[in-house]
């Protein structure tokens, strides 16, 4: 069969950009996302409140990006509205769990466990299709379980608080999988930027309410960490990934993802004094490899994280 017009347009668009520039954009997007946990720790608000500012400050920019790309973010079909609002609620719980976990565990762990939603989706796909995993997928599940067990055990050796942080980041990955499942149909009706706009618009009030209920400081005295968080995570990170996703296969996207825990582990050591043993590194490699395999089964629109 011949190419669709959308596929042809995508290929023409890819041809107008040098390959090295596309790869640089993909890596830069992952690097920007990897800096998010640093800014969460530096913020003088509570971690959930920092998540609120991350989404709230991005809303007008996402609206403008959507309009600049020919999308109509205000014209959301009624049948899509409720799933998107529920997805925003799930995304808010994802951000809340992840940000709290970031403050309680090592940064490399937080990034790996926070991205575990792709493995959850892979397993969910087997349940829905009523099929057993193939050889490579069994390998991914085994590697994920082994890597996670190593990292969780190592966190427990450090402190019970560190283990709780890992579990919160795993919970965040579960919420993220729910978020993606709720958006399965909405992705066909809305553009990428419009989708992000509505998710932030519906998720920000949830995070604000949670922060107030938890008694967190909401208004920052020092604004630059929360501004840096929203710029790195929502504008630069998400923006470059949305731009890059249509130009690369899922395997390349998954491999580029591995730069995130590596960068987080590096500044965790350099800035916060977090150390990794050979066993920690082995656990991270196993879990990271499982994430790469899992992401090859995910649609490109679902591959962007945080």
Domain boundaries, the chain: 18-302
Q: Is 131 left (phi over 0), alpha (psi -120 to 50) or beta?
A: beta
Q: What is the pLDDT of residue 298?
A: 60
Angstrom distance (rounded) from CA 73 to CA 60: 11
What is the reported pTM?
0.86
Q: Which residues, given as ranges, of the chain have pLDDT below 50?
A: 1-12, 300-304
Place of tokens 């916060």: 272
Q: What is the pLDDT of residue 8?
A: 47
Q: What is the pLDDT of residue 28?
A: 92
Q: What is the pLDDT of residue 94?
A: 95
293-303 pLDDT per residue, tens = 887 766 544 44
Q: What is the pLDDT of residue 5?
A: 42
Q: What is the pLDDT of residue 14?
A: 52
Q: What is the pLDDT of residue 102?
A: 96
């Amino acid at each position: 069969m011949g190419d669709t017009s959308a596929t042809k347009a995508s290929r023409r668009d890819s041809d107008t950009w040098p390959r090295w520039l596309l790869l640089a954009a993909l890596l830069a997007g992952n690097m920007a996302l990897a800096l998010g946990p640093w800014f969460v720790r530096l913020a003088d608000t509570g971690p959930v409140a920092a998540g609120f500012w991350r989404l709230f400050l991005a809303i007008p920019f996402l609206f403008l990006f959507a309009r600049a790309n020919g999308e109509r973010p205000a014209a959301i079909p009624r049948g899509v509205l409720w799933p998107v609002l529920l997805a925003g609620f799930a995304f808010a719980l994802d951000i809340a769990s992840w940000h709290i976990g970031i403050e309680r565990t090592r940064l490399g762990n937080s990034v790996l466990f926070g991205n575990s939603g792709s493995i959850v989706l892979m397993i969910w796909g087997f349940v829905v299709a009523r099929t057993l995993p193939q050889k490579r997928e069994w390998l991914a599940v085994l590697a994920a379980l082994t890597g996670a067990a190593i990292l969780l055990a190592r966190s427990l050796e450090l402190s019970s608080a560190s283990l709780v942080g890992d579990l919160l980041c795993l919970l965040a990955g579960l919420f993220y999988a729910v978020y993606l499942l709720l958006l399965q149909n909405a992705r066909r009706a809305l553009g990428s930027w419009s989708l992000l706009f509505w998710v932030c618009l519906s998720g920000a009030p949830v995070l604000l309410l949670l922060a107030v209920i938890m008694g967190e400081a909401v208004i920052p005295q020092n604004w630059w960490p929360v501004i840096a968080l929203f710029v790195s995570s929502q504008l630069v990170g998400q923006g470059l990934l949305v731009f890059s996703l249509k130009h690369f296969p899922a395997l390349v996207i998954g491999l580029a993802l591995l730069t995130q825990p590596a960068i987080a582990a590096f500044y965790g050591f350099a800035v916060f004094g977090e150390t990794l043993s050979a066993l920690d590194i082995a656990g991270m490699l196993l879990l990271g490899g499982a994430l790469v395999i899992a992401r090859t089964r995910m649609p490109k629109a679902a591959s962007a994280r945080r």
